[in-house]
Amino acid sequence: MRWNLLKCLTMVNRIRSINEFHEIRGLVQPNHPLISVVDYSDITYLKELDNAAWVLNFYSISLKRTAGVKAKDDDFNNGWMSFMAPNQVFSILSSGLEHSGWLLLIHPDFFCNTHFLQKLRQYEYFDYAVEEALFLCPKEEVTITAIINMIRQEYNANIDRFSQPIIISHIEALLNYAERFYQRQFITRIKTHHQIINDMDRILTDYFNGANMGLPTVKYLSDRLGISPSYLRDLLKSLTGKNTQQHIHEHLIGIAKEKLATTNLSVSEIAYGLGFEHAQSFSKLFKLKTKQSPLEFKAGFN
């Protein structure tokens, strides 16, 4: 059956159930159809799966170690965690590398009749790119491993009416610790992240000094920086207290103030030069951010 599934692979391959995932990866059937804890050492490596695009109908949380692969200089060389929500596209690029660690698979239906599915959407690192994984220090890995072992113990026990709330409480603890550890990573990667902020300022300056119509979007900025919009937002919030849109506006207002103070350009000319289609939109944003109209600000320098 597994080989028949592989023969039917298309450009993007959707795995609809945890049972189907187990079958494709050569695993025994899960104890529960809606949740599973898998050891990477038990997963069968199949060359046919490399480079294919995949989509899961369920959540995936993993802690992985890859033999012979080192993290960046400013990261810990222990386990690294990644988080995927349903319907995100990913590729398997194992190339036969030896992995250890675990994989937690959770179907959204596991949270039926609870409020946790709505809360789950608050953990924004599920939208991060694979390259923006969470690199754990040894103490953090001990904490995460203890929680996954409690989930594994409950998962392997007899299923009863207490199983779901107990497992959900452990999942919530796991995600809360992951959020804490991501905040630590924003701090320990300070050199890399400040370089991102410097690059962002340069990109914005080039954009506003170019012949562009419309304000730069968050996606435009994150694409130019090579990171996901969610990671950029959380990074900026952690280091500066402002989100990406606020940084775009702040940079725009800074350039506008300089032009108003040092040139004879009219408000309309400055607005159009900054990419606004209508000068009124520029004036409204400028007053919202500075409590002055552009003309009032310019008058202070005459």
Q: Are residues 19 and 117 in the same domain?
A: yes
Asked which of 188, 203, 229 is the last residue of a domain, the reply is 188
Q: Terminal CA-to-CA distance of the chain, rounded, Å? A: 80
Domain region containing 220: 191-299
Asked which of 165, 188, 211 is the last residue of a domain, the reply is 188
CA dihedral of residues 158, 164, 169, 174 (deg, nearest 10): 80
d(CA 163, CA 178): 23
Q: Are residues 56 and 28 in the same domain?
A: yes
Number of domains in the chain: 2
Q: Are residues 183 and 250 in the same domain?
A: no
d(CA 265, CA 24): 65
Asked which of 137, 157, 188 is the last residue of a domain, the reply is 188
pLDDT tens for residues 179-230?
999 999 988 887 788 889 999 999 999 988 887 778 889 999 999 999 999 9
Query: Which region holds residue 142: left if phi is over 0, alpha if psi is between -120 and 50, else beta?
Result: alpha
The CATH number of residue 53's host domain is: 2.60.120
Q: Are residues 284 and 230 in the same domain?
A: yes
Q: Are residues 129 and 272 in the same domain?
A: no
Helices (H), the chain: 2-7, 18-24, 116-120, 138-156, 163-188, 190-208, 218-225, 229-240, 244-262, 267-273, 279-290, 294-299
By C-alpha distance, which of 180, 12, 32 is closest to 105? Answer: 32
Per-residue model confidence as pLDDT tens for the chain (302 residues): 343 444 444 578 899 999 999 998 889 999 999 999 999 888 877 666 666 788 999 999 999 887 555 545 455 567 899 999 999 887 765 555 667 899 999 999 999 888 898 888 889 999 998 778 999 999 999 999 999 999 999 988 888 889 999 999 999 999 999 999 999 998 888 778 888 999 999 999 998 888 777 888 999 999 999 999 999 999 999 888 899 999 999 999 999 999 999 999 999 999 988 888 889 999 999 999 999 999 999 888 76
List the 89-91 sheet strands across, edge first: 12-15, 53-56, 89-91
By C-alpha distance, which of 95, 94, 61 is closest to 80? Answer: 61
